[in-house]
Structure 1
Amino acid sequence: MNQIFDFTDYGELLGLVHNSIIAGLVLGVVGGVVSMFVMMRDLPFAVHGISELSFAGASGALLLGVNVVAGSLLGSLLAAVLIGALGARARDRNSIIGVLMPFGLGLGVLFLALYKGRSANKFGLLTGQIVAVDTPQLSWLLATSAVVLIGLLIIWRPLTFASADPETAAARGVPVAALSSVFMVLLGLAVAMSIQIVGALLVLSIICTPAAAAMRVTATPHLVVLLSVLFGVVSVVGGILLALGSSVPISPYVTTIAFAIYLICRLLGSRRTAGVG
């Protein structure tokens, strides 16, 4: 354990990750809110598909020496638009994602193989980097977060209705298809943000796990959102604080905390169901 953890200079190191902690806090909030709709709309597989093209976009930007965040956003938006436009039905959507995932991952691996810079930059795109959030990246993240949260706030009620009962919503004149396309774009932005912290491979821990855990202990939408945000913040910020005193990348800590929360919620949910029965 001494080879993994070393909190000797923890106080000094804490000052170096000020931006990362702010980014983690914001990302936990955005991920927690978005994850509720991801679970309601059965889109975890789509999240993974978007993350692969986001990884390809970030890798391409790294190779070209341009803004990695912009490349990640471009890849995510391209994937989100393609999935939203071509995958109206769940079966079609899964087929499109199944095609995009290996293509995006392969393209990203190709770009990283051609990149001759620091290996830490390559590894960070896959597993995240704790000290990689500088002031310009934080500004990008805050601006993107504002777009996602404001967008969700605007479409919240009709999107909730369309996610819970799309057939009835469509019959009552709710623009279900348009809402789906808008949400896919917002989801793409959220995925691109998450990759900056936990990397492309483990983004599901932020975009899916918080709401999956919250839904185990309550069915009330407002409580699901609040708990999901809480779980997301605890997972990301807690992962950053643990990784700061460790030689292990941040992503294992984020995913482990998120998984532990899910297991606890699942246990509590099972006991509540057994008590009611």
Structure 2
Amino acid sequence: MVTFQENWLQVLQTTFMQHALIGGSMVALAAGLMGWFVVTRQNAFAAHALAHIGFPGATGAILVGAPVTLGLAVFCVGGGLLIGLLGKRVADREVATGTILAFATGLGVLFASLATANASSTTTVLFGNLLAISTDQLWVFGGFTLLVVGALAVIARPLVFASVDPAVAEARGVPVRALGVAFIVLLALTVTMAVQVVGTLLLFALVVTPAAAALRMTARPGMVAALAVAIALGSVWLGLVLSAMVNLPPSFFVTTLAVLTWVLTLLVTRDRTPRGAAVPVADPAPLAAHPAG
């Protein structure tokens, strides 16, 4: 039964809620910045797959008593590198992603069955537990977020060019393949964090849905990133408040708020042409001449 908690303001001031707020905000920042590239590069399936590829890493870590974040990071980054190296074209990437996903899922089932004594931890990996973020995890999240933000600041311009028109970008001398591998590694780090907030099964709520909603409102990459970050942050913050009010898992509220925002933008912009591919890019020559930023 759902009951309203009159002391919800006090709950928001507890240590675990403060950790959830800080950790969730860092994940929302990284996910929002990565979202435009995920949608534009048609990497939504890869983002979803990376979460499942990380599942055996998490369950394996639970099995041997290692930190879950470490297991997730090793498998997500390893899987991301394989996807990036094996799939240059979209079709090749889809095949590589599906094959790696199938193997990782089977491995995850094996590890989960062996770790039956830690069934609650396995459930947390699947659905997330924003309220269980520890101080050590906050430091790891902080490092990952700085790495994602810093790397995007360096490669953003050539990555935009390579995402919108990879054939022309490659002809202009932009290292499209290297940028693709770098991007998938950054996505793997973002997924590693997001899984611990909303879980493997609800990952789209932070990595894809905010950017998809933002793309309905504008086609400018910078504005899409800003709006996606704002939607993701709003979903996390309001989700935590609602969770404190009625004592229910915040993952449900975070996911629901992000999806509702997307549905609302669909209704408001239903007469407009979708903006996913119509991205204005400056003259490609400067981008090729200065591939680092």
Normalising by structure 2, what TM-score? 0.88
Aligned ranges 1:26-105 → 2 under 5 Å: 26-105=26-105
Look up the equivalent residue of 1:208 and give its one-letter code.
Answer: V
- Shift, 1:118, TM fit: 4.4
User: 1:10 — aligned with what?
Assistant: 8
- The count of corresponding residues between Structure 1 and Structure 2 is 271
Distance in 1 between residues matched to 2:37 and 2:88, nearest whole Å: 16
Shift of residue 204, structure 1, vs aligned partner: 1.3
CA contact (8 A) 1:126 1:201 kept: yes
Q: Quick one: distance in 2 between partners of 1:244 and 1:128? A: 16
Question: Is 2:105 the partner of 1:120?
Answer: no
Q: Is the 8 A contact 2:130 2:196 kept in 1?
A: no
- Shift of residue 35, structure 1, vs aligned partner: 0.5
Cross-structure match for 2:278: none
Match of 2:253 in 1: 253
RMSD across aligned C-alpha pairs, in angstroms?
Answer: 1.5
- Identify the residue that residue 164 of structure 1 maps to in structure 2: 164
Instruction: For 1:270 and 1:217, locate their aligned partners in 2 and report how far apart those are by CA, in whole Å.
Output: 11
Contact 1:217/1:268, CA 8 A, preserved across alignment: no
Residues 111-190 of structure 1 correspond to what in structure 2 (within 5 A)? 111-190=111-190
Shift of 1:9: 3.1
Deviations 1:68-117 (A, max 9, x none): 11111001001100100111111111112222223222322322222244
Taking the aligned partners of 1:126 and 1:247, their CA distance within structure 2 comes to 20
Q: Distance in 2 between matches of 1:93 and 1:255?
A: 27
Deviation per residue, 1:192-213 (Å, 9 max, x gap): 0101111111111111111110
Identity %: 37
Give the secondary-structure state (helix, strand or coil) at the position aligned to 2:254: helix
Unaligned runs of 5+ in 1: none
Report the counterpart of residue 241 of structure 2 in structure 1. 241
**Match of 2:211, as an amino acid?**
A
Cα distance in 2 for partners of 1:36, 1:109 equals 32
Question: Could you tell me which amino acid in structure 1 is paired with residue 256 of structure 2?
Answer: T
Question: Is the Cα contact below 8 Å between 1:243 and 1:250 reproduced in 2?
Answer: yes
Deviation, structure 1 residue 40: 1.0
